Chains A and B, each alone.
Chain A
Amino acid sequence: MLNVDVCIIGAGPAGITAAIDCTKMGSTVVLLDEQPSAGGQIYRSIKKTGHVLGEILGPDYLYGAKLVSEVESAGVQHIAEAKVWRVDEDKKVFWSCRGKAQQLQAKRIIIATGALERSFAFPGWTLPGVMMAGASQVLLKTSGLAPKQAVMVGTGPLLYLLAVQLIKTGNPPIAIVDTQAPKQYIQASRYWANAIKGRKYIYKGINLLLQIKKAGVKHYHRATDICADGVDKVESLSFTCAGKKVVLDAQTILSHIGVVPNVQLTRALELDHSWDPLQRCWRPTLDEHYNTSLSGVAVAGDNSGIGGALVAEYQGHLVACEALYSLDKITKDEWQKSTKSLKQQIKQELVIRPFLDALYTPPKQALTPVDKTIICRCEEVTAGDIRQYGRNSSYGINQIKSFSRCGMGPCQGRYCGQTAAEIIADEANIAVSKVGYFRIRYPIKPLKLGELASLTPIDKSFIQQYKDQGQ
Chain B
Amino acid sequence: MKVDSNFVRVNSQAHDASSEVQFYWEERPVTARQGDTIAAALLATGVVHTRDTAVSGASRGPFCMMGSCFECRVEVDGELNVQSCMRVIEPGISVKRQRS
A: residues with CB less than 8 A from B are 34-36, 41, 52-53, 56, 81, 83, 116-117, 126-132, 134-136, 138-140, 142-149, 169-171, 232-233, 251-252, 262, 377-380, 409-411, 414-415, 446
Contacts and interface: CB of A to CB of B under 8 A. Distances in A.
B17 interface: no
B50 A128 contact: yes
Contact of B70 (A136, A169, A378): A378
Interface in B24-38: 33, 35-37
A81 B37 CA distance: 13
A248 B10 CA distance: 25
Interface string B72-87: 0100000001000110
A52 B11 contact: yes
Interface residues of B, number: 41
Given A139-B40, A232-B49, A411-B68, A130 B7 contact: no
A131 B7 contact: no
Contact of A233 (B35, B61, B69): B61
A414 B37 CA distance: 22
A233 B59 contact: yes
B37 A129 contact: no
CB-CB nearest 9 A-B residue pairs: A128-B61, A135-B65, A410-B70, A128-B48, A138-B65, A143-B40, A144-B11, A380-B55, A128-B49
Contacts of B10: 53, 56, 140, 144-146, 169-171
Given A138-B66, A415-B68, A146 B8 contact: yes
A379 B53 CA distance: 9
A379 B70 CA distance: 12
**Interface SS, B side:** loop
30 contacts: A35-B66, A116-B64, A117-B64, A128-B48, A128-B50, A132-B63, A132-B64, A132-B65, A134-B64, A134-B65, A134-B66, A138-B85, A140-B10, A142-B35, A143-B36, A145-B8, A145-B9, A145-B10, A146-B7, A148-B5, A233-B59, A377-B60, A377-B63, A380-B53, A380-B58, A411-B69, A411-B70, A415-B68, A415-B69, A446-B70
B5 to A, nearest CB: 8
B66 A130 contact: no
A189 B99 CA distance: 51
Given A127-B59, A128-B50, A142-B35, A41 B66 contact: yes
Nearest to B13: A52
A343 to B, nearest CB: 30
Contacts of B53: 380
Contact of A251 (B6, B37, B55, B63): B6
Given A53-B10, A144-B10, A128 B66 contact: no
B69 A34 contact: no
Q: Which of A34, A139, A170 has the largest number of chain B CB atoms within 10 A?
A: A139
Given A116-B64, A128-B59, 13 more contacts: A34-B86, A41-B66, A83-B67, A135-B66, A142-B35, A142-B36, A143-B33, A143-B35, A143-B37, A145-B7, A149-B6, A252-B6, A380-B53
Contacts of B85: 138
